[in-house]
Each structure stands twice: as structure tokens, then as C-alpha cells.
Amino acid sequence: MLLTAPPTAILSALAQEQNGLLALLQQPQQVRHAGRTFWQGHLQGQPVVLALSRIGKVAAATTTTALIERFGVQRIVFTGVAGGLGAGVKVGDVVVATDFLQHDLDVSPLFPRYEVPLYGQTRFVGDAALTALLFTAACGALAHEPETGRGGLVTQQFSGACVHQGLIASGDRFVSGAGESRLLQAALAVAGHEVLAVEMECAAVAQVCLDYGVPFAAVRTISDRADDSAHVDFSSFVEQVASRYAQAIIERFLMSL
């Protein structure tokens, strides 16, 4: 009997972030489940399932549960975009998450602000080994290493782009105002959380992965600064750039597994 390894799930929020990877998928097979489309196949010789979390924490939790329960994935990696919150986190930079929190979770005064009730923790930690591989892959992709034979990511537009590692905050809102972004950053800082980037899914994915004991890591490319022009910057980045980043980083990551 031929035993095949359980697949690696590659999760993105939006189709535009997934397109480049989908175009490279070998022996693609489409499966419809839970109102979603899952793509099984091979990338860099590895069995994978490509899936869309959709937008927001609930949708992301549903997709993650389906990946684990239905597809038996052995690890989950998220690739997508985020708004840069931390000082020096610029559009075109990459953030590899070390840990995740929900910035819109507040059950105070019953529990400390941001703490996930009954888990006794505020932050969910990414899998250390996967995170280290993603960090190396992201550095390689930005540095134009010639392993894949494709061009590097750094164009004139994003020259000086760098890879950061740190905390990512998720919440069910698109942060699109300089004032809002400052308030969010300040409130988190008061509670001792220095956040690099904000998005809408990964803390939920991390929580489900913790529940099931499935290793999880995430990489986010900065599409905007979560400021007054975030909606414009986000839209053009997602259309024009996001998929190239996902492709270059995930190919290198899968090669290193």
C-alpha cells in the first residue's frame, strides 16, 4: 500500500493572494466543502491543500477546522497581507509572526483585556520550527536568491524592503485611519503588547490550531499602513503584488520542509 504524507495547508484570505500558488499547483483537484473550494495537489513535490480563509475571524476558524477535520493536514501556513502598525514596518516589508492576539477581544473586567477566556492566555504562539523556516524563506525571497529561477521580489517600488519577526494582531475590522491605528497601538502597548501588523484572521487560525494540536505559522506582506489611505493602498497591493510575494515565499518554504 502506498502511504502518502498528510498535506500542508496553505491558507490565504483572498483569491488574489492565492492565484500565483494556484497557477503552480501540480495535479490540481478541486473539492467543495463547507461552502468553500479547496485545491489539493502538489507544490515543490509536497502534497498541499490550498484554501481561502475568507475575511474575518469566524470565517477563518471555519476554514481551519475544515482543513484539519476533512483534509487531515499536518501543518497550516498562512500567507497574506496586513497593515503595518509598528514603527518602521513599511509597505512592501514582510512580517513573520512569532505570536498572535485578538485586538478586539475584551471580556474585562471578568478577564484581563485581550485574554481569551478559559484558555488563560492572551497570545497564541506560532510553531517555532515552521516560523524559522518561513523567516528564512521570506529573507531568501526578498534577497533575490536564484533558487527558483524566478526574479526576486524587491522592485524599485519596494527597495529597502525587510523582513520583521514579531506579534500580529487580528480583529474583525479593517483598520483604516491614522487616529484609529494610533489608539489601537497605544491600547495594546499599555497592556504590554508591541504589535507589528494588523489583519483579520491569524489569531483565530492559531486558536483552532492550538485546540487540535496542529502546527501553525504565518507570513504577512505589508500592503498598507492602516492609516487614512489604507483602503487605496490595500486594494492596489492586493491586485498587483500580493500573489507574487506569496508564491516566492511559499515555494522557498516548501523546498525547505
Binding flag, residue 226, ligand ADE (CB under 6 A): yes
C-beta of residue 172 within 8 angstroms of C-beta of residue 27:
no
Closer to ligand ADE by CB, 7 or 83: give it.
83
The one catalytic residue in 127, 224, 233, 251 is 224
**β-strand partners of 8:** 48, 75
Q: What is the DSSP letter of 5?
A: P
Choose, by CB under 6 A, the member of 49, 60, 200, 248 that binds ligand ADE. Answer: 200
Binding flag, residue 242, ligand ADE (CB under 6 A): no
Instruction: Give first-to-last CA distance, the chain, whole Å.
Output: 24
Residue nearest to ligand ADE (CB): 83
Stretch that binds ligand ADE, among 38-46, 58-66, 96-104, 170-178 (CB under 6 A): 170-178
C-alpha cell at 257: 520542509
| Residue 104 among the catalytic residues | no
Stretch that binds ligand ADE, among 23-31, 145-153, 186-194, 197-205 (CB under 6 A): 197-205
Where are the alpha helices (H) located in 28-116, listed in sequence order?
57-69
Binding flag, residue 158, ligand ADE (CB under 6 A): no
Stretch that binds ligand ADE, among 126-134, 186-194, 204-212, 222-230 (CB under 6 A): 222-230
Binding flag, residue 174, ligand ADE (CB under 6 A): yes
Closer to ligand ADE by CB, 95 or 133: give it.
95
| Residue 251 among the catalytic residues | no
User: What is the Cα–Cα distance from 202 to 70, expressed in whole angstroms?
Assistant: 20
User: In the window 65-104, what residues touch ligand ADE (CB under 6 A)?
Assistant: 81-83
User: What is the Cα–Cα distance from 122 to 111, expressed in whole angstroms?
Assistant: 10
Give me the half-sphere count of Cα atoms (radius 13 Å) on the Cβ side of residue 24: 23
Where are the alpha helices (H) located in the chain, listed in sequence order?
15-24, 57-69, 128-142, 178-190, 202-212, 230-240, 242-255
Choose, by CB under 6 A, the member of 59, 61, 138, 198 that binds ligand ADE. Answer: 198
Binding flag, residue 184, ligand ADE (CB under 6 A): no
What Cα–Cα distance (Å) separates residue 145 from each residue in 137, 140, 218?
A: 10, 5, 21
Q: CA torsion sign, 92 to 97 to 98 to 101?
A: positive
Choose, by CB under 6 A, the member of 77, 141, 167, 175 that binds ligand ADE. Answer: 175
Closer to ligand ADE by CB, 205 or 226: give it.
226
Binding flag, residue 202, ligand ADE (CB under 6 A): no
Backbone φ and ψ of 204, nearest 5°:
-70, -45
| Binding residues for ligand ADE (CB under 6 A) | 81-83, 174-176, 198-200, 223-224, 226, 230, 234
Residue numbers annotated as active site: 17, 224
